[in-house]
Amino acid sequence: MRTRLALDTDMIRTTPPPAKRGPSFEQAATAVLDRLQHALAALIASGPADIRKAADVERAFGVDHRLGWQVYRIANAKHPLAAGAHVPARVSLDRLVRVAAKRGVAESVLTEVSAAFDAFEAIVLQYAGSRAEFDALISSAIPEEHERVSLESRELLYQASRTLRGAAMRTALFSHIVYPNAQSPELLDECNIMGNFGVHRIRRASVIETSAAFRDAAGSRIQTIDGRAITGTTDVTLAKFCSQPTPVLVPRPGERETRFVLEGDDVGLKAAVDYVFADYLPAGRSRFATPQRQLIGAAFIPDVPAQRQIVDLLVHDELIPVETQAHAAVYDIVPRGHLERVPDPDRELDRVDFTPSVRVLHQSPAELRSLHLPTYQEIVRTVCDARGWDIQRLRGYRVEIEYPAYTWQTLLTLPLPPKP
């Protein structure tokens, strides 16, 4: 028994202690950026002129505007991590050091600038591997940087997607209008407006399919906005708001469904087209929350890469208490397709770390205006007039995203009130 105890003790003594974890990314980056910040502040203070703004750095050291702005921002950042998004490239910093030496800055100051930059590059390699990845890490650590990096990344993704997809559009619109049913006020009527504006091909023969077009589904209760049966895409097209001649959607029948493709093969902005659809679903759901359906809302995926998307939810002012807040969320649809129901706990892992802001549109047609959709107010009025609805009674909620990722589904929802 003693031998066994001694053996166990020896084994414990010879087992190496667990390795100590190094500093976190935030700790390591703060240390090296603090050093770089102080080094560049000392360089500025040693310069040939008084520096109070970014343009002064440009004039004092004879550097270009971008480098002068970067150096000034780093030296004056409120927190060292905030400086991380503005660090220039090695070639630019070396140029600054050479110019500063010629203008009388002490060698000890310039040596510290170079050493601080060496330490910065070492941290980039250790924790990120590239400057792009480092910028992403910085943005996650500093909320004010997150949107800037996110926007830049989404724009790059848009440029890549439009090239690979061979098509793009200026603005994608989805508007969901909810109004009490005239015959059964406890039920809701719904209209959908779907618009693709500035759609054009980047590459000849690229396919532009529209998900907004009518699909012939057996037993569907969806109608035209004036209450007629739908027989084809022209029934739901709002030709007045389409480019002329009205774009033609060619049916492509398949085994399970018919899909619709934009006719033509012209390329470039001069061949860009607009097409707008609207449909109507009468008495589609209860105006009160039920165990099966707690929310109303809009879910949208652009047909092709878009520079901008606008999602509106317009509701009759008696349906939802004015203090009710709308909720916006974005999901990645690549792994498991678009969301079939909301909420769906199984899809929360697909939630994107990007929450767009929701703008409240008060009860005035003027609130519907958009610089990116000059005809939008008239489109909504046309739909309301066809249904006999009062546009003045609509209260709205809007999500507008610049450069939405092509793999995103945007949700804009409102909770329904309980039945009295």
pLDDT at site 245: 93
pLDDT tens for residues 267-322? 999 999 999 999 999 998 899 999 888 999 999 999 899 999 999 999 999 999 98
Note the pLDDT of residue 100. 92
CA distance 308 to 400: 7
202 exposure class (CB count in 10 Å sphere: 0-12, 13-18, 19+): middle
Q: What is the DSSP letter of 85?
A: G
229, exposed or middle or buried, with CB in 10 Å at 0-12, 13-18, 19+? exposed
Which residue ranges of the chain lie beneath pLDDT 70?
1-22, 143-145, 212-220
The candidate with the shortest Cα–Cα distance to 410, out of 308, 320, 280, is 308
Report residue 122 CA to chain centroid gap: 32
Question: What is the full DSSP assignment across 111-178?
Answer: HHHHHHHHHHHHHHHHHTSSHHHHHHHHHHH-HHHHHHHHHHHHHHHHHHHHHHHTEEEEEEEEEEEE
**pLDDT by residue (tens digit) across 80-118?**
888 887 899 999 999 999 999 999 999 999 999 999 999
Query: What confidence score (pLDDT) does residue 307 get?
Result: 96
Q: How far apart are CA 276 and CA 213, in angstroms?
A: 9
R_g of the chain computed on alpha carbons:
29
What pLDDT sits at residue 259?
81
Task: Quickly tell me which residue has 């010879």 as its tokens.
Answer: 14
